[in-house]
Structure 1
Amino acid sequence: MSLADIRLLAESLSKVLEDDKAEDLAFIELQGKSSLADFMIIASGRSGRHVAALADHVAQEAKRLTGRPASVEGMANADWVLIDTGDVIVHLFRPEVREFYNLEKIWMSDQAPHRVRAS
């Protein structure tokens, strides 16, 4: 996939999260920061059930768009679910778990992550 295609995938997954009422959505570009992926999306769900529903929908959309299943970890507890498409990594948290791990701070350089939507 080209970087433009990967960006489109990341934006499409962000849109799924927005439509499903994910909270405090952050979109972080990783080019030049990590070889793990090109984009990271971080969002919160209101409860474990909401996080699991968000993750399921994102994983379905990622498969529809890429033609291959995403790797999904953490669905059993749904406190923190990671969806990895290979090019885009999506972290979904319950709010208190997100606050504890504070991934935005780890991946920020001198710029704040782009907030897609503040809730």
Structure 2
Amino acid sequence: MELETLKQLVVKTLDDMKGQDIKTIDVRGKSAITDMMVIVTGNSNRHVKSLADAVELAVKEAGVQPLGIEGDGQSDWVLLDLNDIILHVMLASTRDYYNLEKLWEVGEGLPQSRPNMLGTPD
């Protein structure tokens, strides 16, 4: 399945299941393990698990076999590896603590040629 189509399916499923603050981050060129991260907040451990389960079912029905899932019904963080996309479903407190958006968005929006200490391009 094409990356954009898979992303749309994941985001729609999360939205339908009332996932909060859905964020997609393109990590091509930053990570060798995946092309995109999707991060979403669930409002309880049960909701976190339900969001991950719903996405797992939706992608399987679309013909995509997830590579793995980490976390369980008591988790505050469930990771679903879809190869091209890694989905992180987290409680708000866990998401705030780990701040994956900041980690993976480093360098976005920076100019290609940054000035050195003298103010001239490298």
Is residue 84 from structure 1 mapped to residue 81 from structure 2 by the alignment?
yes
Contact 1:22–1:44 (CA under 8 A) maintained in structure 2: yes
CA offsets 1:26-81 (integer angstroms, 9 cap, x no match) = 00011111111111100000000111110100111121223424411001422000
Name the SS for the 2:32 alignment partner.
coil
- Amino acid corresponding to residue 54 of structure 2 in structure 1: H
Q: Mapping of 1:1-119 within 5 angstroms?
A: 5-111=2-108
AA aligned to 1:10 is K
Gaps of 5+ in 2: 110-122
1:52–1:81 contact (8 Å) kept in structure 2: yes
Q: 1:20 to 1:76 in 2, by over 3 A?
A: closer
Count of matched residue pairs: 109
Partner in structure 2 of residue 115 of structure 1 = none
- Look up the equivalent residue of 1:59 and give its one-letter code: E
The letter for the 2-side match of 1:43 is V
Q: Would you say the 8 A contact 2:46–2:74 is kept in 1? A: no
TM-score where L is the length of structure 1: 0.84
Find the aligned partners of 1:97 and 1:69 in 2 and give their Cα distance. Answer: 23
1:18 partner letter: D
Greater helix share, 1 or 2?
A: 1
Name the structure 1 match of 2:112. Answer: none
Higher-Rg structure is: 2
* Structure 1: gaps (5+ residues): 113-119
Contact 1:63 1:70 in 2 (8 A): no
Q: CA RMSD in A?
A: 1.5
TM-score (norm 2): 0.82
How far apart, in 2, do the equivalents of 1:31 and 1:69 lie? 19
SS at match of 1:81: strand
